[in-house]
Structure 1
């Protein structure tokens, strides 16, 4: 970690205790349990799955966010769900 300040090294060590790396998968420890960390390219398939799943298709935004948070973690999860639902709504209600 050459070129990194001592203060930044302490921050990195502190934050690293929030994560677990196991079987080539990164997990984040949360207050509610351990969640799989999702890469950017994995977000859209997850959003599609939870939106089209029969139990998620008619749920509100908070319920879908909660269902996804039960299993996964990424930093902008809430914003991505809202953006995805808004886009789906716009496409569904588009007039030609």
Structure 2
């Protein structure tokens, strides 16, 4: 890939350095991947196809609506596009299925209220109960 200099265009050094990681193979734009855990090159996804990639790796029945981190990781294994993280964040946050199924963190019930200590032994007792469970042979449902 070459940058053609002209009177109307000026390319900053940062832009020129960034171009070195992109290359063409069989008419497809790829980006060199420097992560040892992933493929040697990532497919650069055009903006028109990004919704399809997001759908396939988040919404598809085999994708499982995995949330932001895991959806991003799955996409980054094979694909690249500018603002990928922002696009995945927006897509997952606005996913209707995720909004319906995944409950937001709940606020605590509130501060504990102080109780007066009892004036004499066994004036007040407390008990923790677990259950109901299936009825035992002796007719009990609670522990």
**TM-score scaled by length of structure 1:** 0.77
More strand by proportion, 1 or 2? 1
Instruction: Show structure 1 runs of 4+ deviating over 2 A.
Output: 8-16, 52-56, 89-93
Aligned length in residues: 91
Larger RCO, structures 1/2 (Cα 8 Å, 6+ apart): 1
Report deviation, 1:61.
Answer: 1.2
Gaps of 5+ in 2: 101-143
List runs of 5+ in structure 1 lacking aligned partners: none
2:35 is the counterpart of 1:28: no
Q: 1:85 to 1:21 in 2, by over 3 A?
A: same
TM-score by length of 2: 0.54
The alpha-carbon deviation at position 55 of structure 1 amounts to 4.4
Structure that is richer in helix per residue: 1
How well do the aligned residues superpose, as a CA RMSD in angstroms? 2.4
The answer for the alignment partner of 2:137 in structure 1 is none
